[in-house]
Amino acid sequence: MAILNKIRQRSLFLIIIIALALFSFVLGGLIKNGNSLSAKDQNTVGTVNGKEITRTAFLEKVEVAQKQAGASATNTQIMNRVWDQEVRQAVLQTQFDELGISVEKDQMRDLLKKALATTPQFLNEAGLFDENKLNEYIINLKETSPQAYQDWINYEESLAENALQQNYFNLVKAGLTGTLEEGKFEHQLEGNKVDIKFVQIPFSSIADSTITVTKSDISSYIDKHKKQYQVDASRDINYVEFKETATVEDENDIKASLTNLLKDQEVYNETTKATDTITGFLKTKNNEDFVNSNSDIKFDSRFLFKSSIPKAVSDSIFNLSVGEVYGPYKDNGYFKISKLVAVKQVPDSAKVRHILIPFVGARAAAQDVTRTDAEAKQLADSILAVVKSNKSKFPDLVKEFSSDQGSVDNGGRYDWHPYNSMVPEFNDFEFEGKVGDIGVVKTIFGYHVIEIEGQKDKEKAVQVATIARKIEPSQATIDKVFRDASNFEISLEKKDFQELAKENKYTVRPVNGIKVLDENIPGIGNQRPIVRWAFDEESEVGDIKRFDIPSGYAIVQLAAKHKEGLMSVEEATITAMPAIRKEKKIQLIRDRVTAKTLDDLAAAEKTTVRTASAINMMNPTISGAGREPMVVGAAFGLKEGETSKLIDGNNGVYMIQVEKVTPAVKLDNYQAFANQVEKKKMSVVNSKLYNALKEAADIEDNRVKTKIE
């Protein structure tokens, strides 16, 4: 009781102690997480020239972009794409605001009219764009579907943004002209010529091995060229891949299982307590069922020309007799056995015209399609009856009823096209029928009223039944790969990564310069988890981790961490060392040269005086020496007969003497060249303006801090 009383007496003290402990815990977490104290930081993906890109808005756009891209792009690719779009919009918006330009209502109306000019639902009876229909459509969206209406708003904003950007670029271009004086200068750059004599002391005359480049030299070079060696934070990793691939034994087992399918099999029937005979591939009459029951690829009923059969086996399969088989053979990741089922003569191309009647649920059917399957069939049959009685009505019926925009303007016609270029049902009708046949065919797109207008060049085609088995590792192989990866990972607790890999004859693959938002690891593809781990604050150089990768595992070692800022001496060596060697060679050459004339220099350097004719500034290349803009520029600064001092070039140190100066031919008018100058300026606007604005912008990327990656 005495103890309890003391606790009660000091309860306030205890509460303060507990509160301080909790505060310290929370504060420690906030400090560890950097900017976690600021809710604003967590809700702002980035800023561009002071404009915030909010987390919510950014993720909404990512979601829309992901739906549009489908499976063709990864989540990281989509996020990077949306980020680039947001940055571009914000950078250019700064310019729009400064200039006071915007898209007003009248221009928006014109943009919509131009964009939707051929959309059927916004056209009147005369085929012209009807603004009232567009307004009705928008009102209907707003009243019936908030999401669809928001999508429409996003579409309008996209149109407006593109128009603003075009207006801005056009304004910049409007301020760029090529003056006659600039045209004259352009003409002179190409037309002014000089002939020179020169002596080149090539850098290659001094062996690289004789030039010493120290770490101090490289460090000084980096300091002098800071912009060139400024880098983002990056990571280097090493990894060993353990791939689950089929062994030779696995492949032999797959081939054996295919071969066994050729023969009849005796199988005991538990129900009848008797032995049943299952007909093999060689003797079966129902090839489609047999293939579908035993193959990883379903039966293909199409007839094939020789060119459509894999080239490596086309002769062997095409020359089989009906009922004969070929294989097993390897093709595109499968082992296959093929049986020749039938042979016939098929046109290699056809010409048809058609009318497509879609129904609700048909592929590519427009949102305003309301016909059921039965109603579409009934309409197609009605059109067929009309066309059969009067073919001249076909073009009018195409315009009135067909939904295939790819052929409407051509009277529903698909000109000469090869066999198997259409969906199967369409293809079968046009190539198996006769010229002049008209019929109704159902495909995934709806009901087609088709007329065969032409066929040509019949040739041999074959129907082939193929049993295919995917070449993949057996369970025993998969288990072995798992054991090998596990043993390697465990052994790394006591042994060096490189040494253990060498000991086990595993290939170590280094990957350097990984950036924080990268996702692709050369050799194993999209591996965002590896990048996240490499940049995790708790990951240390030398750490090892196993990752699941497509068809196996990767044991990864974090090899190095590189901070944002200037490149280290080691990283910069590969590019800095050649440049430093060049500087030192220039100094060596200059220190040893005392000659003042070409002949003396040539004699001292045991070389010859060479000549180069008709050099111009537009293409500063010296025959026999290469591209040398500094040398060519110096030549145009000399008078005839004048000799230069030593000139540092790209490929050596030079001394030149101008023999002849030929000025460009004077023209009465330089407008043509002025036009060339203007055209060059315009192309620079398209290719470099945005990048220049982006480089000058104040951009803060917080995607990693806010965990938007």
Per-domain residue ranges of the chain: 2-32, 44-168, 193-229+569-662, 234-245+474-563, 287-470
Q: For residue 186, what pLDDT is reported?
A: 94
322 vs 367 pLDDT, higher one: 322
Angle at 185 between CA 183 and CA 188, to 5 degrees: 110
- pLDDT tens column, 129-150: 888 888 888 888 888 888 888 8
Place of tokens 């919009």: 89
| Banded pLDDT at 327 (limits 50, 70, 90) | very high
Mean pLDDT, the chain, rounded, equals: 89
439, 381 Cβ separation under 8 angstroms? no
375, 386 Cβ separation under 8 angstroms? no
Q: For residue 121, what pLDDT is reported?
A: 81
Q: For residue 11, what pLDDT is reported?
A: 46
pLDDT at 696 over 60: yes
For domain 234-245+474-563, say whether CATH 3.10.50 is its number: yes
Q: For residue 21, what pLDDT is reported?
A: 45
| Composition of the chain by helix, strand, coil, percent to 5 | 45, 25, 30
| Banded pLDDT at 15 (limits 50, 70, 90) | very low
Three-class SS of residue 481?
helix
Q: For residue 140, what pLDDT is reported?
A: 87
Q: For residue 155, what pLDDT is reported?
A: 87
Token pair, residue 255, equals 């081939």
CATH fold of 287-470 reads Chitinase A; domain 3 (3.10.50)
Give the distance between the most distant pair of CA atoms in the chain: 116
Distance (Å) of CA 116 to CA 113, 142, 156, 398, 402: 5, 19, 12, 21, 19
164-169 own/partner pairs: CB under 8 Å, 24+ apart: 164/92, 164/96, 164/101, 164/102, 164/103, 165/92, 167/101, 167/103, 168/92, 168/95, 168/96, 168/99, 168/101, 169/685, 169/686, 169/689
How many C-beta neighbours within 10 Å does residue 319 have?
12
Calculate mean pLDDT across residues 437-454: 95
- pLDDT tens column, 269-320: 777 777 778 899 999 999 999 999 999 999 998 899 998 899 999 999 999 9
- pLDDT tens column, 178-203: 999 999 999 999 999 999 999 999 99
Q: Residue 37 carries which DSSP code?
A: G
Are both 44-168 and 287-470 of the same fold? no
Closest C-alpha among 287, 316, 291, 306 to residue 419: 306
Give the whole-angstrom CA distance, residue 471 versus residue 310.
Answer: 17
For domain 44-168, say whether CATH 1.10.4030 is its number: yes
